Amino acid sequence: MTRRAGHAPRATGVWLRPALLAVVSTLLLSLVPPATPAAGAQAAERIEIAVSSVTPLMARESSPNELTISGTVHNTGDSTLRDLEMRLQRGKARATRASVVKALRDRAVTAEVRTRFESVATTLPPGARTEFELRVKLTGTDYRSLRIEAPGVYPLLLNVNGDLAQGQRARLGSTRFMLPVLSPPGGSPAAPSDPTPVTTLIPLVDYPRMIQQRLPGRPTILTDDRLAESLAPGGRLFGLVQAVSEEVPADEPLSRGLCFAVDPDLVVTAKTMAEGYRVRQDDGGTVRGTGSRAARDWLDKLRTVTEGRCVISLPYSDADVVALGRAGLPDLIEGALDGADAVSSELGVDVREDVLWPVDGALDEPAATQLANTAVDTVLMHPDSLARTDGSLRPVRLRTGDPDHTPTARLIDPLITDALNPVRARNAANSTRLSPSGTPPPR
C-alpha cells in the first residue's frame, strides 16, 4: 500500500467548478473504451469506433448550438460492410456524482432522444478505416437535435448500423461517453443552488533515498541520483510545482481551492541535496551528487507557490499508518505524523497538522483508534474504504475503538482519482471498511 512516486497527482472534490469540468469531461471519456460493441455475437467483432474529438467537451450558455464528434470507423471483420449509418442517442441527465458513476459503470439507457441516421460510408472492406464527422444540435426540437433543456451530465451513445449481407441490417458497433452541460446554449448561466467547495490536492512525495544525513565530518549520502532528475526542469516534481506557478497564480479564484500535501522526508532530502551530497555506488563507494542546484531552485520555487496557501504534511516517508496500526505501533504512528515542523521551518508557511491523507485514502479501526493521541481530527478518505454504499460524499464522523475519538472523514472524489489510478480504488476497497459513527461532523 505504498503511494508510488511516479503516479499522477490526485485531485479531490465534490462540486465540479466550471474550470475543472473540461478536465472531468476528458476523464469521463477516458473511463470508456474506444469502442463498446453492441450486444450480439455476430456484430460484436465487426467494427471499432475510435472517437478522436468531441466539441464542445462541456456545453455552456455561450457554446454554439452544435455538438461535433469526429473519429474513425474500422472494419475488423472478414467481409465487406455496406451502407454504414451513424446516429447519436442520449439518456436522462445525471445531477449527482453517484449517478454519473453509475451511468458509466452500468451502461446507462440512452433511449430518451435519438437523432436521425447520417451516412458514414457506402462500403467498408475488411481491415479498412473511414473517417467520420457527425454534427447534431444540442437544443431544438427537430430530428437532428439532442433536445437538451437543462443542466446536467448526459450519457450519450454513438451507434453505427450497416448491412452484414443482403437484407441483413444490424447494429455493428457503438461507443459511449458523457457530455457535461452547465447550461443549454443560448440560455442563462445556471449555478448550483448549494455548491460544495472543491479542494485539489497536489501531492509532493518521492521514494525515501537518504541513507546517511549530514553530520560533522560525514556527508549526506543518497541511494541514487534519480531525485535530482525529478527536481530539475522536465522532471515530475519540477513540473508539479511549475504548473501551479504558471497556471494558477495566487490571485486566481481557483488558487483558494489548492492544497499541497508534502512529504517531510522529501523536503528534508532536497534541503540536504542543496547543501551538497554524495551518491552510493554499486561497489560501495560514493560520487558527488549532481542535483544541488536543481534542489536549491526547486525549494525556492516551492516556497513561492506555497506562500499563503494550504499545506498539509503527509506521514514522514509516506509511512503506511494502517500497517503500523495493525502492528500495534502507536509510537511509530506518532513519529510518522511528526514532520509538519520540518516542512513549516523549511518552507516558511503554516502547515496543518490536523489533516491526515493516508495511503490510498484508506484507514481501518486499529489505525484510527491510535490517532487519538495525535493532532489529527480530519482524515481524507476514499469512499470505498467506508462501510457504506449510499454514494454520498458528505463528511462523516468515524467510529473508532475510542468512544472519545471520532475524527471526521472528508471524502475524495473517486470519479477523477480512479481515472488517474484505478489500482487505488481496489486497494482502498480491499484493505479497510471503517464504519461511520452516525454522528454528523460539525459545520
Q: What is the pLDDT of residues 311-362, one digit of tens each?
A: 999 999 989 998 998 898 989 999 999 999 999 999 999 999 999 999 888 8
Contact in structure between 386 and 395 (CB atoms under 8 Å): no
Q: What is the rounded CA–CA span in Å between residue 256 and residue 42? A: 54
C-alpha cell at 378: 480530519
Distance of CA 75 to the CA centre of its chain: 33
Residue 422 has pLDDT above 60, yes or no: no
- pLDDT of 168 reads 80
- The residue behind cell 478518505 is 381
- The residue type of 404 is D
Contact in structure between 165 and 195 (CB atoms under 8 Å): no
Q: Backbone phi, then psi, for 163, in 5-degree steps?
A: -95, 125
- The residue type of 358 is P
- pLDDT of 28 reads 39
Q: What is the rounded CA–CA span in Å between residue 413 and residue 88? A: 29
Q: What is the rounded CA–CA span in Å between residue 182 and residue 18? A: 8
Q: What is the rounded CA–CA span in Å between residue 26 and residue 58? A: 9
Per-residue confidence band for 431, with pLDDT thresholds at 50, 70 and 90: low
Q: Mean pLDDT across the chain, nearest whole number?
A: 82
If you average pLDDT over each of 74-78, 105-109, 116-120, 184-188, which comes out highest? 116-120
Contact in structure between 241 and 4 (CB atoms under 8 Å): no
C-alpha cell at 119: 451516412
H, E, C per residue of 28-82: HHHCCCCCCCCCCHHHHCCEEEEEEEEECCCECCCCCCCEEEEEEEEECCCCCEE
Quickly count: other Cβ atoms within 10 Å of residue 376's Cβ.
Answer: 21
